[in-house]
A and B are shown apart, each in its own frame.
Chain A
Amino acid sequence: MKIAVTAREKDLNSAIDPRFGRCFYFILVDLKSKETEIIDNLGEDVSGGAGIQAAQKLVKKNIEAVITGSVGPNAMEILQAAGIKVYQAVESNVGENLTKFQAGELNLITAPNANKKAGLKSWWK
């Protein structure tokens, strides 16, 4: 199973990026082979449609689940249509969230939990 985590930096010790569409990086993890891949999301550089673009990237990578903080309505529509499950991050660190995910301790998000453009707020910076 291949899953994605939104991250502030490029490794498993990195902090979670709580924004889906505007996250800095996606860390992709193949849970079987333990292989990881980093995608530069550059979500802060997009004026509009950041969530759509980010979701499209995950679809192309055949991701089955994503761990993140907040997902807006447009991104959620695509993720759900593509059958990508969204899990709520609870820990601040990417690796710890992965451990909890594998232990089945993360909650599924089934509805958008952020408004459009929420990831643009300056307090993320």
Chain B
Amino acid sequence: MIITVASGKGGTGKTIIATSLALCLEKGIFIDADVEEPNAYIFLRPEIKEKKPVSLNVPLFNFEKCTYCGKCADFCQFKALAVIPGQVIFFAGLCHGCGGCRLVCDVGAIEEEKRLIGEVQTGQINQLLDLDVLPPNKAFARPKDSFTGQRLIFRQGKLNPGEALAVPVVRAVKEDLTPKNGYPTVPADRQVVIIDAPPGTSCPVVEAISGSDYCLLVTEPTPFGLSDLKLAREIVKELKIPAGVVVNRVMAEDDLAEIKTYCQEENIPILAVFPFDRQIAYAYSKGIPLIYAYPEGKEKMQVILKQIKKGINR
């Protein structure tokens, strides 16, 4: 079961929800697909064991064969190539690595080389939280033994700063995850995968959500949260993936009215509501997962997971 946590709007609490969901799994995989700014590691404190480079296949020209016919530049949808008499100019930053130029070249003058754009890091979370980081405050629900014994596989994609193309890194971080291929590097008992998607509604988000069994949309009770929730909902609809909503930072029941109306119209359930709570905010500011700061958190996460299972089977 692959659950992607998305939001449309940034800063609604995707990561704080996604990480705590993952921490409530018996055994699972957590993937940070927000490759431009992966920061779930701050909550989860994984031990990174493996780093794999992500690169694009970009054209490499053999000028002994090139006739400067210009077919490659004509074909390139991203204007990454210009051909002038006796010279080919390649703008690496614009190349999407589709390989089309190589295919249209009549004389086989184009080969491929790799251009590094990012990295996929894999690790484990063995010990969830060093108890010492928790402030001496009784209100914090200190992790019990049942939490610290579990092992969570952690993966994150990192796009090199300044690179324009996040999608290949999102794809790489999700590699082998498609249900029909199974997940060969992971034992069969790790059946739940939580993916933390980037904010927004563009290609990297679509790539992160694609192939999921369920999409959890995190929003907040502001006009901005609702506006962007609607956009995110459009993507999920298009991808035909069942969705549910989590509303974060709710001060009063009244705040929910508009979101409730929208969710009813769209026929998507609200799976949980989290309060606008100083304790949670404090924990966030220290990189402490929500479930430790908010006593009802674990229970709510279990409810979310149950509802998601129902939502998928429906």
Say if A and B assemble together.
Answer: yes
Q: How far is the CA of A77 from the CA of B85 in the complex (A)?
A: 14
Which residue on chain B has the smallest CB distance to residue A56?
A: B82
Q: Is the CB of A56 within 8 A of B91?
A: no
Q: Is the CB of B84 within 8 A of A78?
A: yes
**Given that A46-B79, A48-B78 are contacting pairs, would A82 and B84 also be in contact in the complex, using a CB cutoff of 8 Å?**
yes
Question: How large, as a class, is the contact surface on chain B?
Answer: 10 to 19
Residues of B close to A59: CB separation below 8 A: 82-85
The answer, among A49, A60, A78, for a CB contact under 8 Å with B78, is: A49
Q: Is the CB of A60 within 8 A of B79?
A: no
Q: Kindly state whether residue B250 has any CB partner on chain A within 8 Å.
A: no
Q: Kindly state whether residue A74 has any CB partner on chain B within 8 Å.
A: yes
The dominant DSSP class at the A interface is: helix
Q: Is the CB of B84 within 8 A of A49?
A: no
Q: Is the CB of A56 within 8 A of B80?
A: no
The distance from the CB of B120 to the nearest CB of chain A, in whole angstroms, is 26
**Given that A77-B89, A81-B89 are contacting pairs, would A60 and B70 also be in contact in the complex, using a CB cutoff of 8 Å?**
yes
Q: Is the CB of A52 within 8 A of B91?
A: yes
Residues of A close to B2: CB separation below 8 A: none
Q: Kindly state whether residue A93 has any CB partner on chain B within 8 Å.
A: no
The distance from the CB of B84 to the nearest CB of chain A, in whole angstroms, is 4
The interface bits of chain A over 68-95 (1 if a CB of B lies within 8 angstroms of the residue's CB, else 0) are: 0000001001100110000000000000
Residues of A close to B70: CB separation below 8 A: 56, 60
Q: How far is the CA of A82 from the CA of B241 in the complex (A)?
A: 51
The distance from the CB of A73 to the nearest CB of chain B, in whole angstroms, is 10
Q: Is the CB of B85 within 8 A of A49?
A: no
Q: Is the CB of B89 within 8 A of A48?
A: no
Q: How far is the CA of A35 from the CA of B69 in the complex (A)?
A: 27
Residues of B close to A14: CB separation below 8 A: none
Residues of B close to A56: CB separation below 8 A: 70, 73, 79, 82-84
The answer, among A49, A60, A81, A82, for a CB contact under 8 Å with B91, is: A49
The distance from the CB of A98 to the nearest CB of chain B, in whole angstroms, is 25
Q: How far is the CA of A53 from the CA of B91 in the complex (A)?
A: 12
Q: Is the CB of A53 within 8 A of B79?
A: yes
Q: Kindly state whether residue B94 has any CB partner on chain A within 8 Å.
A: yes
Q: Kindly state whether residue B87 has any CB partner on chain A within 8 Å.
A: yes
Which residue on chain B has the smallest CB distance to residue A116?
A: B93
Q: Is the CB of B73 within 8 A of A49?
A: no
Q: Is the CB of B84 within 8 A of A81?
A: yes
Q: How far is the CA of A112 from the CA of B215 in the complex (A)?
A: 46
The winner among B82, B87, B89, B94 for most chain A CB atoms within 10 A is B82
The winner among A46, A56, A60 for most chain B CB atoms within 10 A is A56
Q: How far is the CA of A30 from the CA of B87 in the complex (A)?
A: 25
List residues of A (7-25) whose CB comes within 8 Å of B's CBs: none
Q: Is the CB of B94 within 8 A of A49?
A: yes
Q: Kindly state whether residue A55 has any CB partner on chain B within 8 Å.
A: yes
Q: How far is the CA of A52 from the CA of B78 in the complex (A)?
A: 10
Q: How far is the CA of A55 from the CA of B78 in the complex (A)?
A: 14
Which residue on chain A has the smallest CB distance to residue B84?
A: A82
Which residue on chain B has the smallest CB distance to residue A78?
A: B82
The answer, among B83, B85, B87, B91, for a CB contact under 8 Å with A74, is: B91
The interface bits of chain B over 81-105 (1 if a CB of A lies within 8 angstroms of the residue's CB, else 0) are: 0111101010100100000000000
The distance from the CB of B97 to the nearest CB of chain A, in whole angstroms, is 15
Q: How far is the CA of A89 from the CA of B105 in the complex (A)?
A: 38
The winner among B79, B85, B87, B91 for most chain A CB atoms within 10 A is B79
Residues of A close to B87: CB separation below 8 A: 81-82
Q: How far is the CA of A74 from the CA of B82 in the complex (A)?
A: 10
Q: How far is the CA of A81 from the CA of B84 in the complex (A)?
A: 8
A-B contact pairs, 8 of them (CB 8 A): A48-B79, A49-B91, A49-B94, A56-B70, A56-B73, A59-B84, A82-B84, A82-B87
**Which residues of A are interface residues toward B (Cβ below 8 A)?**
46, 48-50, 52-53, 55-56, 59-60, 74, 77-78, 81-82
**Which residues of B are interface residues toward A (Cβ below 8 A)?**
70, 73, 78-80, 82-85, 87, 89, 91, 94
Task: Using A52-B79, A52-B82, A81-B89 as known contacts, list a sample of 8 further A-B pairs with CB atoms less than 8 Å apart, ordered by residue number in A.
Answer: A48-B94, A49-B80, A50-B79, A56-B84, A59-B85, A74-B91, A82-B85, A82-B87
